[in-house]
Structures are given as structure tokens and as C-alpha cells.
């Protein structure tokens, strides 16, 4: 009789622990960071890219470093993919690693934000 209640108690603890694990996974799970090389030039480019990325579902942080033009993106891999992140940068008018800037979006950029605009 006593063994039975210990067994029940143990399985209850087990269930609670398992539930908490999936709960934690839902909140923190899938959080990853990726660094993407962009063709940003100035501060305007920086905010254009960052806000385009923050509009994506699953992206929780985007910081572009103008010194190396690399953007560091924190995202939830269960909600958004790296390919989608690169596409968003391309649609904003900038190169993202191997993905070239969307031609129309690039044409619509202010002259100073185009490649060589500050040369
Ligand atoms: Cu710019």
C-alpha cells in the first residue's frame, strides 16, 4: 500500500516535470542567432534593415553593425527560417549573404543608400 502511494507520487512529479519542459521549450525553444553579411551603407540603411527584420514573426532582435555591415539576428527557428530572414533583407533593398538585393527595392532606395552612394 505504501509503495503504491510512493509510485503515484513519483509519477505525478514526473508528469509535472515533463509538462514544465514542454512549457519552457515553447517559450525559449528554438531561439537561435544568425549573422548575415548585408550591403548596408549608412545609419538609414541600418534602421531600414533592422525594422524590416523586426516585422518578421519570430524575430526578436536585429542589430546591424555598420563597421562590417553584418546584421546579428535573434530568431525562433520554429517560426521563421534563415532563408526568410535573408529574403526580408533583400526585399528591403540589400544583399544578404548569397541572396542579392531585390532589384525593385534597390531602385527605390535613396541615392545615398545605393552601392557607392557615399564614395
Ligand atoms: Cu543608407
Q: How far apart are CA 7 and CA 31, in angstroms?
A: 36
What pLDDT, in 10s, does the model give residues 34-43? Answer: 999 999 999 9
Check residue 13 and give its pLDDT: 59
pLDDT at 79 exceeding the cut of 70: yes
Domain boundaries along the sequence of the chain: 30-113
42 Cα–ligand 1 center, Å = 4
pLDDT at 46 exceeding the cut of 90: yes
Check residue 117 and give its pLDDT: 64
Cβ atoms 68, 80 nearer than 8 A = no
9 Cα–ligand 1 center, Å = 62
Q: How far apart are CA 55 and CA 101, in angstroms?
A: 18
Range 30-113 has CATH code 3.30.70.100: yes
Q: How far apart are CA 88 and CA 78, in angstroms?
A: 17
Over residues 30-51, the mean pLDDT reads 96
Cβ atoms 83, 36 nearer than 8 A = no
77 Cα–ligand 1 center, Å = 29
Amino acid at each position: 500500500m505504501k509503495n503504491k502511494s510512493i509510485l503515484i507520487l513519483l509519477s505525478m512529479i514526473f508528469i509535472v516535470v515533463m509538462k514544465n519542459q514542454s512549457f519552457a521549450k515553447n517559450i525559449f525553444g528554438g531561439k537561435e542567432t544568425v549573422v548575415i553579411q548585408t550591403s548596408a551603407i549608412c545609419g538609414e540603411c541600418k534602421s531600414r534593415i533592422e525594422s524590416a527584420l523586426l516585422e518578421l514573426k519570430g524575430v526578436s532582435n536585429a542589430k546591424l553593425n555598420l563597421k562590417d555591415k553584418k546584421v546579428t539576428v535573434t530568431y525562433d527557428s520554429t517560426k521563421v527560417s534563415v532563408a526568410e530572414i535573408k529574403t526580408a533583407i533583400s526585399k528591403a533593398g540589400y544583399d544578404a549573404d548569397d541572396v542579392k538585393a531585390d532589384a525593385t527595392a534597390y531602385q527605390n532606395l535613396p541615392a545615398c543608400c545605393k552601392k557607392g552612394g557615399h564614395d
